[in-house]
Amino acid sequence: MRTLRWMLAALGMVALIAAAHAAETGVALKADDIKSEPFKDAQTLASLAKGDVVEILGKQGGWLQVKGAKGKGWVRILSVKRGAADKKDAAKEASGVLAMSTGRAGTGQIVSATGVRGLSEEDLKAAKFDEAELKKAEANAVTAAAASSFAAQGKLAAREVAFLPEPRQSAQTDTPRTGRQ
């Protein structure tokens, strides 16, 4: 009897672990390339069509590793809706997500999207200072003379850009208007 309980408990634990590691599904919001690595210039392995159902295997930065009928690889995070693969829902939500990704939402309306895309709150909290990576970044710095030479070769010219005017104050409150209601 004791062995039976032990086996049932072990079986229950295996089931819980399997459920925790079950792959998440998603649906393509738009056509995109499936890449060999999570980089824009990586080799294209296949194409993802709008509405294709994929299994989400992992995430790295702004990329999702997916597996679908056309192959396994990496696609941009904004190309896939996580969750139930309902093509009608995906089509409805695609316009808003795609408008945000292009910087436009409708005719003439510019949308500002700030923040770090592809990183979760946990990723940001777990981030640590890496002096070696900072030195790599600093190694890419150029002198003002080198930058001026580069600009001259490209026939680039300096241009003065005026600051935006101060925001108007709302008549109802003393806080600046932000355009959000």
Residue 171 falls inside a structural domain: no
The residues, ordered by sequence, that sit 6+ positions from 119 with a Cβ below 8 Å of its Cβ are: 61
Confidence of residue 66 (pLDDT cuts 50, 70, 90): very high
- Is 169 within the bounds of a domain? no
Q: Region 81-109: what's the mean pLDDT?
A: 53
Residue with the bigger pLDDT between 111 and 149: it is: 149
Whether residue 87 has pLDDT greater than 90: no
Residue 38: inside a domain, yes or no?
Answer: yes
Domain that holds residue 122: 22-127
Write the pLDDT tens digit of every residue in 2-25: 676 666 666 666 555 555 455 688
Q: Is 107 part of any domain? A: yes
Lowest mean pLDDT among 47-51, 67-71, 90-94: 90-94
Quickly state the pLDDT bin for 106 (edges 50, 70, 90).
very low
pLDDT at residue 109 in the model: 47
As for how many domains the chain has, the answer is 1
Burial 141-177 (b: 16+ CB within 10 A, else e): eeeeeeeeeeeeeeeeeeeeeeeeeeeeeeeeeeeee
The verdict on residue 2 lying in a domain is no
Please check the confidence at residue 127 and state whether its pLDDT lies above 80: yes
Q: Give domain status of residue 93, yes or no.
A: yes
Mean pLDDT of 44-64: 90
Q: Which has more confidence, 25 or 1?
A: 25
Structural domain includes residue 177: no
Residue 139 located in a structural domain: no
Q: Amino acid identity, residue 133?
A: E
Nearest of 51, 54, 49 to residue 67 by alpha carbon: 54
Q: What CATH number did the domain enclosing 46 receive?
A: 2.30.30.40
pLDDT at 84 > cutoff 70: no
pLDDT top residue among 83 and 159: 159
